[in-house]
Structure 1
Amino acid sequence: MITPDTKDWTWVLDRPCPECGFAAAETRPQDVSALMRKCAVRWVQVLADEPERLRARPRPDVWSALEYACHVRDVFRLGDERVRRMLTEDGPRLANWDQDETAVAERYGEQDPLRVAAELSAWGETLAEHLDEVGEGEWQRTGFRSDGAEFTVDTFARYFVHDVLHHLYDVGAPLDRSAGGRG
């Protein structure tokens, strides 16, 4: 059984993540789409492993690489929906998403890795394209998480990409960002 993650990860906007090293404050929102594309490529590489290895959990209370990849695919999909809402609605309220409930309901650990790779890649590109289209005056448009936390398109993009990067770290396949600095 996985213990649900109930931490408020918004702190990553203010200080570097001590685990994966991502520094959202040093990352320009205009650079997030390129970083997401690199992450999607790395996730596809991860999913090229043997299905049995992808489904194996390192511990009973930690997701497998396949489960993390399914989560990232759904994070890309949900992230795209949220960015589009912030760009087209005034101050939308963004519903809570129970990632742990979704993992169980969608049977993440039983999904086809090749299909997950294709869907993750497609949703990652869709979101990256939408972020590429954000105009200078649109980065400060707002949206509100169900707990009342306020995001702008800027802060959401930087918060969001940490999730995708951090899970590569979780599965032992961190993105090499040496050429592009910490962010």
Structure 2
Amino acid sequence: MTEPLSPTSPPEPVAGDTKDWTWVLERPCPECGFDPAKVSVERIPALITDAAGRFALALQQADAGVRTREGVWSTVEYGQHVADVLEVMTDRLEAILAEEGGEARFDDWDQDAAATEKEYWRANTHVTAILVKERAAAAAEAWSEPEGEQWDWPGVRSNGSRFTARTLGTYLVHDLVHHLHDVGA
């Protein structure tokens, strides 16, 4: 186990994740066990809320602010990332719905730059748990709104990856489940 993160100096950077995770929309993830075939649009809001509750519990652990493995975020850093993911994905869903069936374009989001700019390592575990729950509540509400054909309305990520409201929701749920796996929750 490594030392708790210092609130005054940044920790060693974590290697950026440059994988294209869109394959998780087609087949189960061998790392976290997520199966996209088991995600229906009706379940997305509840899955988001459940994941937020589990993250809040993980953030109560005594070592939540400690990087327990070299080069891997602490639970609080993952919590900050999850809060940002919830916000970014909700914004993307709103962009899809605003286009009313036209093709939405998603601005680029660099998760590693966000971690550095927002200094995730400085975050308070209690505040992070509240942030995750608040953003999850907003995301769950947003994903309860699409109806019928709206689920198939398109959006394109800056790297060219294509989504629909349905696949974007599934992608979000995988991200939450995978990060819960990352923190052992």
TM-score (norm 2): 0.89
Q: Secondary structure, in 3 states, of the residue corresponding to 2:155?
A: strand
Look up the equivalent residue of 2:42 and give its one-letter code. Answer: Q
1:2 corresponds to: 14
Q: Secondary structure, in 3 states, of the residue corresponding to 2:152?
A: coil
Q: How does 1:142-153 map onto structure 2 within 5 Å? A: 142-153=154-165
Give 1:137 deviation, angstroms: 1.8
The reply to whether residue 102 of structure 1 matches residue 114 of structure 2 is yes
The counterpart of 2:170, out of the listed 131, 150, 158, is: 158
Give 1:62 deviation, angstroms: 0.6
The counterpart of 1:123, out of the listed 130, 135, 138, is: 135
* Identical pairs, percent: 39
Q: Secondary structure, in 3 states, of the residue corresponding to 1:7?
A: coil
Root-mean-square deviation (CA, aligned residues, Å) is: 1.0
1:76 corresponds to: 86
When the two structures are aligned, how many residues end up with a matched partner? Answer: 171
Unaligned stretches of 5+ residues in structure 2: 1-12
Once residues 151 and 30 of structure 1 are traced to their aligned partners in structure 2, the CA distance between those partners, rounded to angstroms, is 18
Unaligned stretches of 5+ residues in structure 1: 174-183
Q: Which runs of 4+ in 1 moved over 3 A?
A: none
1:139 corresponds to: 151
Q: How does 1:4-83 map onto structure 2 within 5 Å? A: 4-50=16-62, 53-83=63-93
Once residues 32 and 69 of structure 2 are traced to their aligned partners in structure 1, the CA distance between those partners, rounded to angstroms, is 20
**Residues 124-164 of structure 1, C-alpha deviation per residue, up to 9 Å, x if partnerless?**
01110111111112100111000111100001100111001
Once residues 35 and 126 of structure 1 are traced to their aligned partners in structure 2, the CA distance between those partners, rounded to angstroms, is 13
Once residues 150 and 93 of structure 2 are traced to their aligned partners in structure 1, the CA distance between those partners, rounded to angstroms, is 11
